[in-house]
Structure 1
Amino acid sequence: MIYRIVSLLCLCIPLLAKAVPVSNLYSAQVLMGANQGEADLLQNAFTKAATQVLARVSGKEVEIKGELAPRIAQQASKWVAEHAVQALPGLYDIDGVSQPAKQVKVDFYPQLVNQFLYAQGLPVWGGNRPSILVWVISEQNGVRAVASANQSTSALNALASHAQMMGLPIYAPLYDDTDQRNLSGSELWGMFEDSIALASKRYQTDMVLAVKVDQLTQDVSANAELFIPDMEPVVWQLTAENEAAVLESLIGAVAAELSERYASTRSDITGDVVMRVTNINDASALRLVSSYLSSIDVVRKVRLATLDGQTVEWVLTLDGDQQKLLNSIRLRSILVAQTVSALDPDANRVLAYKYNRGN
């Protein structure tokens, strides 16, 4: 059983821990100061919402908030499909000023957002995203605390808030007696990989992020390692003026790393691969697998090539390299990789899989 963080208070619900469909990629709600004209309010809200959506869809927050910011401000209103404005009671702290506020919900046209990203040479990352178990330990004034689904900390809340904005499905461990036997606070602080892996096994997520946050004399540091199966850990050492800022930077870096693994990139040069799938024994299975292949972000086009009994071959045209295709397939258990004998004349021609009918 695993618990996903669904709010800043870490209210949690049990669900399976494999790849998670993330919805509302192209929508955002933003809080705006009400003391401005309607036209300015909408223009600023569209820009703010578009910035969030573009960062979430591409995984490239640094580029979106940096050099592309002026272009986004100019074009954001053109991408709006619909919007709604709601006046809120009371006063809100916006940019350090207590003032009346309005909440603006904006839905954007996905095709226009994607076109903008591709035109800038940035990737588009769909809604099928890897689940991430997050171990967080923080130290302040010499006292260390491990965050859990049942006992959150400010560090976990900051991670959860920005992960939600970036479309990353993160989960907190229970850190109950079982977890504590497998992973002590000292071992988590020391980033003992074997202990982290042992404690994480029960949660069965696609990957694991271990984070330690340390309050320095003036700044806050975050050291983190992302554990992806069959890969060396990805390591970050970040420093910022406060806890929220350093953890926002960390989530941005994690999103960028995963975007590189899974998101599609558009160019005039595409590549074709042949995929052979066995255990396709009826028309329903044929339709399901064909639909699944079409849904993978890096797959631009799917063409049925051959049908021989229960074995089917498709030709896939990719936006991105073949490794991204393999990474994406591993997130689901619909297809199980098969070994092709070196003596098979098709060994270098096809990617071989078996359809897992239990999914």
Structure 2
Amino acid sequence: MRLIARLLILCLSLLSLPSFAATQGNLYQVHEPVASQTPDERSAGLTRALQTLVLRLTGDPKSTQSSALAGYFKDPQQLISQYGYENGPPLALVVDFDPASVDKALRQAGLPVWGASRPTLVAWWLNQSSQGSTLVGDNQDSAAPLNRAAQRRGLPLRLPLADLSEQGVGTVQNITAAQPDALRAASERYSADGLLAVAAKEDAGKWQAQWRLWLGDRSEQGQAQGDNPDALADAVMLAVSERLATRFVATPGASSALTLQVQGATLERYAELQRLLEPMNAKLLMARGDTLVYRVNANPDQLRAQLALAHLQEAPASDAAQPVDANAQPAVSQPANRNVLNFRW
């Protein structure tokens, strides 16, 4: 009863909380480009929209080939709550999928689900053409393809203002540099988890880009191509999403039951932790003082990456508190130390 009462108090604070990682809005809504509003094109568009959603939620390109999902790809309307059209340009089929039905279908297919709490990225995107170089800024027309692609691939994206001072920072030299020292300093005002630097170039009507991503102590890089700015932006965001998924999404069979103990919790931090742990089937076992104990189903490295978004630090086992409470319901078992992770703010 004490645990239930504490949870009721904690839940009252959910509506007025600061956020660490961003909660990606409209995660189950897909804007799928279509050529027309004919029945055949609509049917094909609904199937493509489901494929886009499955890739967004799993981060695994092979997931769209799952035989367990074949029936849903043949008849996507089993998972759809509503759909309509957006005139654009481009013309798009806007599809709202039912989250509970989609998650159930993915789990029955043995596929993981990447939750809505995802790392925010500030993108320094430089377009180069024969007319010169332009840093893409928030609220510019050139930002539209980036924002569409980020929403399509489920990435919380922030763009710089691209004012005069930032134009001097967003140069080819800084954006293609092996270390993002200048960009990192200019990115502090945007409070993002990661930094994406993209040098895009138009050549004979085709677009290509080199991109680099820094998140925590790791970096990624790659190349992308597209027939137009929209196609290029989508190719970059898809590649970035797939790289991030390898860090935040556990592959089937790689998860195990873990006990997570977190010290230094407050009402605000509790709510943020609930969102971060949602895709890991987290169950709160105990809440005492500023210590929370959870049972989660996750890969340890995946759990560490997710908790890093809330600026949690892993604590040595010797520093962990001992929240043993004989009256807690349910009682906390004491698993082997290798299955216990301790973190603190």
The residue type paired with residue 309 of structure 2 is L
SS at match of 2:281: strand
Same amino acid, percent of matched pairs: 20
Structure 1 window deviating more from structure 2 (21-30 vs 198-207): it is 21-30
Deviation string for 1:325-359 (max 9, x for gaps)? Answer: 111122225xx32532769899866433336xxxx
TM-score by length of 2: 0.73
Which residue of 1 is the match for residue 82 of structure 2?
83
Give the corresponding residue for 2:147: 160
User: What amino acid sits opposite 2:174 in the alignment?
Assistant: E
Change (3 A) 1:31 1:251: closer
Deviations 1:83-136 (A, max 9, x none): 255697xx9876xxxxxxxx7554323233224334555431111111110001
Please give the alpha-carbon distance, in whole angstroms, between the structure 2 residues aligned to 1:256 and 1:27.
Answer: 19
Matched, 1:330 2:308: yes
Whether contact under 8 Å (1:27, 1:108) holds in the other structure is yes
SS for the counterpart of 1:352 is strand
Q: Structure 1 residues 143, 20: CA separation in 2 closer, same or farther (over 3 Å shift)?
A: same
Determine if the alignment matches structure 1 residue 126 to structure 2 residue 115: yes
Inter-partner Cα distance in structure 2 for 1:133 and 1:256:
17
Higher helix share: 2
CA drift at 1:163: 0.8
Task: Give, in whole Å, the separation in 2 of the partners of 1:242 and 1:271.
Answer: 44
Question: Which ranges in structure 1 are unaligned for 5 or more consecutive residues?
Answer: 1-15, 95-102
Q: Does the 8 Å contact 1:17/1:131 carry over to 2?
A: no
Does 2:278 align with 1:300?
no
Query: What amino acid does structure 2 have at the position aligned with 1:299?
Result: M
**Deviation of 1:77 (Å):** 2.3
Change (3 A) 1:132 1:294: closer
Query: What's the secondary structure of 1:186's corresponding residue?
Result: helix
Report the TM-score, using the length of structure 1 for normalisation: 0.71
User: Per the alignment, in what secondary structure is the counterpart of residue 55 of structure 1?
Assistant: helix
CA contact (8 A) 1:31 1:104 kept: yes
SS at match of 2:283: strand
Match of 2:174 among 173, 187, 197: 187
Match of 1:148 among 120, 131, 137: 137
Q: Quickly say closer, same or farther: Cα 1:138–1:190, change in 2 above 3 A.
A: farther
Aligned-partner Cα distance in 1 for 2:151–2:79: 22
Matched, 1:276 2:276: no
Counterpart in the other structure of 1:316: 295
> Which residue of 1 is the match for residue 73 of structure 2?
73
Q: CA RMSD for the aligned pairs? A: 3.8
Distance in structure 1 (CA, Å) of the matches to 2:271 and 2:89: 50
Q: 1:226 to 1:107 in 2, by over 3 A?
A: same
| 1:97 paired residue number | none
Hey, what does 2:13 align to over in structure 1? none
In structure 2, what is the equivalent of residue 216 of structure 1? 203
- Which of the two has greater strand per residue? 1
> Which residue number in structure 2 is paired with residue 114 of structure 1?
103
Task: Give the superposition deviation at 1:29.
Answer: 4.7
- Deviations for 1:141-178, whole angstroms, at most 9, x for unmatched residues? 1622111125453xx43222111112211111123344
Give yes or no for contact 1:274–1:313 (8 Å, CA) kept in 2.
no
1:296 alignment partner, SS class: helix
How is 1:250-261 mapped onto 2 (pairs within 5 angstroms)?
A: 250-261=236-247
SS at match of 2:46: helix
